[in-house]
C-alpha cells in the first residue's frame, strides 16, 4: 500500500509544479491582452484625466514582475485578492459561481455517466446489432451539432411547450428541487454533448478485451454473455473508461460557457468571459487557475483510480 501513497505523493508534486508553470503562463497571457482595466471600466466615456486617476487608484502602474509576485504569494495563502473592477473579494465572487458550475457539472455527470456506461456495455454486448448501430449513430449525430444548436432545439421542443423553463434563475430562495427542475435543459444539453465520447470509449475498451484469451476461456466455461462482460471484461476495461470519464468531467467544469450563455446560467464560464472583456485580470487569473486545478486534480484522480483498479499496475510499483 505504501507504493500507492508514494505514487499519489509524486503525482501531487508534479501537479503543483504543473500549476506553477500554468500560473506563469496565465500571468503572461493576461499581460498580452490589449487594453487595460481602467479603459474598459470607463468605456467609451474615458478621458485621459479620468483614466490616469483610475489607473493610479487600481495600482496598474506597478511593473509586471512585482504584480506577479504579489499575486502568487497571495494565492499561496489562499487569498486571490480583490477584483479590480468591483473591489469585492475574488473568493466571494468566484465562490458562488464555482458552486453553480459544479452543480451543473455533477448534474450532467449524474445523467451522462450511467447512461453512457450502460449504452456502451450494451452496445459492446450486442455488437453490430441494430441497437449498437442506432445508439452509435444517435450519439455521434448529437455530438456533431454545435452545443448551442442542441440547446435551441431542446428549448424549441421542451421549453416553448411549457415543460421546462428556458432559463435558470438562482436566488437565495431557490431550493435544490427547483434547481434540478430549472437546470434540467442545460444538464440535458451537456449530457447529449458528452455521452458519445464516453459511450464509444466504453464500447471500444470492452470489445477490445472480448478478443483476449481469458474471455474466450470464460465463454468456453459456458458463462452467459452478460456475465462475461460484467464479471470479466468491465473490471479490466475500467482504466480507459475512468480516464475518459475524468476528461469529460473536466470538460463539464471548464468548457460549458456556450451552454451557460444560452440558458443564462450564472456559472464560472460566463464570469470568466465577463472578466476578460472587462480586463479584470485578477479574476481571470483566479478562474484560469481553478480550471487548471480541476484538470490536474481530475487527471490525478483518474491515474490513481485506474492504478487501483488494475492489480498489475499496483504490483509493479
With CB under 8 A, what is the number of residues at the site for another protein? Answer: 50
Nearer to another protein, 20 or 148 (CB): 148
Q: Which stretch binds another protein (CB under 8 A): 35-43, 63-71, 244-252, 289-297?
A: 35-43
Of residues 156 through 215, those in contact with another protein by CB under 8 A are: 159-160, 162, 165-167, 169-172
Question: For 69, left (φ over 0), alpha (ψ -120 to 50), or beta?
Answer: alpha
**β partners of residue 82:** 89
Spatial contact of 202 and 120, defined as CB atoms under 8 Å apart? yes
- Which of 5, 43, 77, 78 binds another protein (CB under 8 A)? It is 43
Residues 133-152 that bind another protein (CB under 8 A): 152
Candidate list 2, 32, 49, 77; residue touching another protein; CB under 8 A: 49
Strand partners, 89: 82
Q: Which is nearer to another protein, 172 or 222 (CB)?
A: 172
Q: Which residue lies nearer to another protein by CB, 37 or 241? A: 37
Residue 37 or 124 with smaller CB distance to another protein: 37
Least Å distance, CB 293 to another protein, is: 21
Q: At what angle do helices 234-254 and 268-277 cross, to 10 degrees?
A: 40
Nearer to another protein, 83 or 195 (CB): 83
Q: Of 231, 274, 311, 317, which lies in the binding site for another protein, with binding defined by CB under 8 A?
A: 274
Nearer to another protein, 84 or 249 (CB): 84
* Segment near another protein (CB under 8 A); pick from 29-37, 61-69, 111-119, 222-230: 29-37
Asked if 270 is part of the footprint of another protein (rule: CB under 8 A), the reply reads yes
Neighbours of 63 (CB within 10 A): 7
Tell the burial category of 288 from Cβ atoms under 10 Å away from its Cβ (0-12, 13-18, 19+): buried
- Of the residues 19, 26, 75, 85, which one makes contact with another protein according to CB under 8 A: 85
DSSP string for residues in 260-294: HHHTT---HHHHHHHHHHTT-HHHHHHHHHHHHHH
Min separation Cβ 185 and another protein, Å: 11
C-alpha R_g of the chain: 24
Which string of DSSP letters, residue by residue, matches 69-123?
Answer: HHHHHHHHTT---B-TTT--BHHHHHHHHHHHHHHHHHHHHHHHHHHHHHHHHHH
Between CA 241 and CA 252 the distance in angstroms is 16
Q: Grid cell 411549457 — which residue? A: 162
By CB under 8 A, residue 266 contacts another protein: yes
Max CA-CA distance within the chain? 85
One of 111, 262, 290, 292 touching another protein (CB under 8 A)? 262
Q: Which is nearer to another protein, 76 or 173 (CB)?
A: 173
Query: C-beta of 283: minimal distance to another protein in Å?
Result: 8
Residue for grid cell 504584480: 67
Chain residues binding another protein by CB under 8 A are 33-35, 39-50, 53-54, 57, 83, 85-87, 93, 96, 152, 155, 159-160, 162, 165-167, 169-172, 261-264, 266, 270-271, 274-278, 280, 283
Amino acid at each position: 500500500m505504501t507504493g500507492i501513497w508514494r505514487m499519489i505523493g509524486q503525482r501531487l508534486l508534479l501537479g503543483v509544479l504543473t500549476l506553477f508553470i500554468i500560473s506563469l503562463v496565465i500571468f503572461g497571457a493576461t499581460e498580452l491582452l490589449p487594453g487595460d482595466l481602467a479603459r474598459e471600466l470607463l468605456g467609451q466615456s474615458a478621458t485621459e484625466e479620468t483614466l490616469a486617476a483610475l489607473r493610479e487608484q487600481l495600482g496598474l502602474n506597478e511593473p509586471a514582475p512585482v504584480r506577479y509576485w504579489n499575486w502568487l504569494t497571495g494565492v499561496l495563502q489562499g487569498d486571490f485578492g480583490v477584483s479590480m473592477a468591483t473591489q469585492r473579494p475574488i473568493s466571494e465572487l468566484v465562490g458562488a459561481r464555482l458552486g453553480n458550475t459544479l452543480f451543473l457539472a455533477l448534474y450532467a455527470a449524474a445523467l451522462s455517466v450511467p447512461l453512457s456506461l450502460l449504452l456502451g456495455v450494451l452496445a459492446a454486448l450486442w455488437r453490430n446489432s441494430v441497437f449498437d448501430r442506432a445508439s452509435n449513430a444517435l450519439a455521434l449525430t448529437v455530438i456533431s451539432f454545435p452545443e448551442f444548436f442542441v440547446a435551441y432545439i431542446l428549448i424549441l421542443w421542451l421549453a416553448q411547450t411549457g415543460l421546462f423553463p428556458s432559463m435558470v434563475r438562482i436566488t437565495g430562495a431557490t431550493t435544490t428541487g427547483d434547481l434540478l427542475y430549472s437546470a434540467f435543459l442545460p444538464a440535458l444539453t451537456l449530457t447529449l454533448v458528452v455521452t458519445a465520447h464516453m459511450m464509444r470509449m466504453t464500447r471500444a475498451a470492452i470489445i477490445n478485451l472480448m478478443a483476449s484469451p481469458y474471455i474466450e476461456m470464460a465463454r468456453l466455461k459456458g458463462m452467459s454473455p452478460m456475465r462475461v462482460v460484467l464479471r470479466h471484461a468491465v473490471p479490466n476495461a475500467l482504466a480507459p473508461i475512468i480516464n475518459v470519464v475524468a476528461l469529460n468531467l473536466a470538460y463539464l467544469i471548464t468548457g460549458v460557457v456556450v451552454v451557460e450563455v444560452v440558458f443564462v446560467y450564472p456559472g464560472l464560464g460566463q464570469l470568466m468571459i465577463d472578466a476578460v472583456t472587462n480586463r479584470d485580470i485578477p479574476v481571470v487569473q483566479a478562474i484560469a487557475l481553478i480550471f487548471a486545478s480541476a484538470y490536474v486534480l481530475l487527471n490525478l484522480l483518474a491515474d490513481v483510480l485506474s492504478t487501483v483498479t488494475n492489480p498489475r499496475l499496483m504490483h509493479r510499483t
